[in-house]
């Protein structure tokens, strides 16, 4: 019995997956054609631009929508020409990366808000000055801090000024 090394076994060429087109007119299955040719350099270029647009589409997709799309893609693939499994791994890893980046963005935003609150509370009893967004200058001693959805507000007498308007602390 002889053993054939795996490297000598010819691997089938996987054809490019045609991108579905949606139009208002209905088409019959016989009018749709599938390409079975091997990818060329122009196909590779269109695949890379498709990958970039797919990454952008993944950014707006949540995990449930992605899984529904993945299952639908698996159910509707051509059994005689299945999709390359690395495509699914790539898509899944892209979704994971997008979710990790969204989580990082959320935690960074929360950290920035907490730093603003800590900086504001350290100004209680200190004299600050600055210019409001409408150009009005202000100056006074901070009596308290109020945290709002737009960020920390420093109370000076009867006025409330945003932390972002402070230009000097005495």
Domains of the chain, by residue range, sit at: 110-169
Phi, psi dihedral angles at 28 (to 5 degrees): -90, 155
CATH class of the region 110-169 = mainly beta
Query: Tell me: the pLDDT tens digits for 123-148?
Result: 999 999 998 889 889 999 999 999 88
Tell me the pLDDT band of 157, cut-offs 50, 70 and 90: confident
Task: Answer whether 0.85 is exceeded by the pTM.
Answer: no
Q: What is d(CA 66, CA 68) in angstroms, rounded to the nearest whole number?
A: 5
């Amino acid at each position: 019995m002889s053993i054939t090394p795996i490297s000598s076994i010819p691997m089938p060429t996987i054809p490019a997956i045609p991108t579905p087109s949606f139009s208002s007119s209905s088409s019959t299955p016989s009018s749709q054609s599938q390409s079975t040719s091997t990818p060329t350099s122009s196909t590779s270029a269109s695949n890379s631009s498709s990958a970039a647009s797919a990454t952008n589409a993944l950014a707006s997709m949540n995990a449930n929508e992605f899984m529904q799309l993945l299952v639908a893609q698996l159910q509707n693939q051509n059994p005689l020409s299945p999709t390359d499994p690395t495509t699914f791994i790539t898509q899944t890893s892209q979704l994971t990366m997008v979710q990790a980046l969204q989580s990082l963005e959320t935690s960074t935003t929360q950290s920035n808000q907490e730093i603003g609150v800590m900086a504001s509370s350290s100004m209680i009893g200190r004299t600050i000055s600055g210019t409001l967004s409408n150009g009005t200058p202000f100056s006074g001693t901070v009596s308290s801090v109020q945290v709002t959805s737009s960020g920390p507000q420093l109370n000076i007498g009867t006025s409330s000024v945003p932390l972002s308007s402070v230009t000097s602390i005495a």
